[in-house]
Amino acid sequence: MSGVEERTVAPEEAGWRLDRWVKTHFPGLPFARLQKLLRTGQFRVDGRRPEAGQRLLAGQRVRIPPLPEEAYEAPPAAAGSRPLSAEDRAFVRSLVIFEDERLIALAKPPGLAVQGGTSTTRHLDALLEGLARGGEKPRLVHRLDRDTSGVLVVACTAEAARELGFAFQQHRVRKLYWAILVGGPQRNEGLIDLPLAKGGAPGRERVQPVAADEEEGEEERGRPARTAFKALARAGKVAAWVALQPLTGRTHQLRAHCAAIGAPILGDGKYGGRAAHPKGAPKGLMLHARELELPGPKGRPLRIVAEPPAAFRAALGWLGLERPELPGATLDDWAEAD
């Protein structure tokens, strides 16, 4: 068993999630053990208790608790492991909707996890080998939930990963999501300003709104979370096609906020329960990352758009909605946040 140690985040690691950083440095640490150590705060970043999904900055100091010696060694290759097949390479290439010398934008389909886990062997991070240039595999700089579709950007170089990761951390990236909400919001536009806190048993964690006037401490009070919304079209009182702009980046923020106002995202049983599954509705989570606007070269913003997948289009057809009836469907309809 090792003792407590500290390591510094390298420049090429800037923008990485903390859990990914730990798995890279300690490849033999079992996933369940890693999650427990992170959940119980035994890792520290610059002396503060972090979240597993926290994005790291170059130069930050990570406190590492005592770990077994096998954590420092890569586990044996899984039986039957092999390089990417031609089919996998063709598949990940088919997802590309934009690329230049610093980044590649993908239209992630619903159902594809971005990173691996205990029971997840097929995921986007592994498939990125199929987009390698000169032997350098692209790097993740942000993520989407497994069942969320839409624009996902990866960096082609360590320098690009550092720049893009910093842009995401500093909220210099504008995001616009499309969602289909059961019932729909009461107003055509507004702001959901509800702090969110994590709760639930290990493996079944979820975030939930907490009262803004609680005084017990940051964890009980929750972290600030704000989501702006605009209704694009309504199918009576059955559902609404809505554009969502996250002004903060909390885990499951859009899903928890929509459920909190009594309009869960269609197909989101985790947060909406039975109400999220109306009889006859198409299957799947109807949440789509429609647009992403990034700082581009020479100060020119780069706007990337992903078309919704077949399931989302089928849900719109089921509701008799063909096109937006109100403004808000593109970032051009939204004022830039201060």
pLDDT of residue 3: 79
Dihedral sign for Cα atoms in the order 146, 150, 155, 160:
negative
> Using one digit for the tens of pLDDT, what is the confidence trace for 172-181?
999 999 999 9
Residue located via tokens 């009070």: 221
pLDDT of residue 75: 56
Dihedral sign for Cα atoms in the order 127, 51, 169, 269:
positive
pLDDT of residue 77: 46
Q: Residue 76 pLDDT more than 70?
A: no
pLDDT of residue 338: 52
pLDDT of residue 220: 52
- Please tell me whether the overall predicted TM-score, pTM, comes out greater than 0.95 for this model: no
What is the arithmetic mean of pLDDT over 240-267? 96
Higher pLDDT, 276 or 200: 276
pLDDT of residue 29: 85
CB 292 within 8 A of CB 153: yes
What is the arithmetic mean of pLDDT over 222-235? 95
Q: H or E stretch including 272?
A: helix 269-272
Q: Residue 78 pLDDT more than 50?
A: no
pLDDT of residue 130: 94
Could you tell me the pLDDT band of residue 219, with boundaries at 50, 70 and 90? Answer: very low
Q: Residue 1 pLDDT more than 70?
A: no
CB atoms within 10 A of CB 238: 15
The residues assigned a catalytic role are 145
Q: Residue 218 pLDDT more than 90?
A: no
Residue 136: partners with Cβ closer than 8 Å, 6 or more residues away: 156, 157
Domains in the chain (CATH in brackets) are: 5-72 (3.10.290.10), 86-169 (3.30.2350.10), 174-333 (3.30.2350.10)
Quote the percentage of the chain above a pLDDT of 90.
Answer: 59
239 phi and psi angles, rounded to 5 deg: -165, 170
What is the arithmetic mean of pLDDT over 18-23? 86
Could you tell me the pLDDT band of residue 118, with boundaries at 50, 70 and 90? Answer: low
Q: Residue 91 pLDDT more than 80?
A: yes
Classify burial at 9, counting beta carbons within 10 Å of its beta carbon; exposed 0-12, middle 13-18, buried 19 or more. buried
Residue located via tokens 């969320």: 148
